[in-house]
């Protein structure tokens, strides 16, 4: 028996934005591949490993977005963890040894918006589910 759930606007937007982050990671993977082929790497094995890990991350993030759109808790959880990791990267970009605060803001603000949307999705999902006694 299949249960159909409708997601609201915040959930739909969160799912689409998380999937868009997955697409950005695919673009980053392509950029890494071009750099690898162009010889713009110090270590070919490290560059290949980074490329593979980025591609795996892209698939996971896109799956989280699809999970949010399907009203799955694992999608929301994975999306939240992803946003927290992106916020950590943004914080490092804004305050690290080679700090560029504007880059930190450009990275961090969208992640914060998506995080808020995902928290809204979690709250709404908890209201739709019957409480366990």
Summarised one tens digit per residue, pLDDT across range 45-98 is 999 999 999 999 999 999 999 999 999 999 999 999 999 999 999 999 999 888
Q: Domains in the chain: how many in total?
A: 1
114 within domain boundaries: yes
2 within domain boundaries: no
What is the domain range of residue 114? 9-128
39 within domain boundaries: yes
74-113 b/e (C-beta count within 10 Å ≥ 16 → b): ebbebbbebbeebbeebeebbeeeeeeeeebeebbebbee
Q: 70: closest CA among 117, 9, 6?
A: 6
Summarised one tens digit per residue, pLDDT across range 91-125 is 999 998 889 999 999 999 999 999 999 999 999 99
49 within domain boundaries: yes
């Amino acid at each position: 028996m299949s249960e159909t759930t409708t997601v609201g606007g915040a959930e739909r937007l969160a799912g689409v934005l998380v999937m868009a982050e997955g697409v950005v990671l695919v673009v980053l993977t392509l950029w890494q591949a071009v750099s690898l082929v162009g010889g713009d790497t110090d270590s070919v094995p490290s560059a290949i490993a980074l490329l593979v890990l980025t591609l795996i991350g892209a698939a996971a993030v896109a799956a989280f977005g699809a999970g949010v759109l399907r009203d799955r808790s694992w999608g929301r959880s994975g999306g939240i963890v992803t946003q927290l990791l992106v916020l950590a990267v943004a914080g490092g970009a804004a305050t690290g040894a080679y700090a560029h605060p504007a880059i930190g803001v450009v990275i961090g603000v969208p992640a914060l918006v998506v995080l808020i949307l995902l928290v809204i999705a979690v709250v709404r999902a908890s209201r739709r589910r019957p409480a366990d006694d």
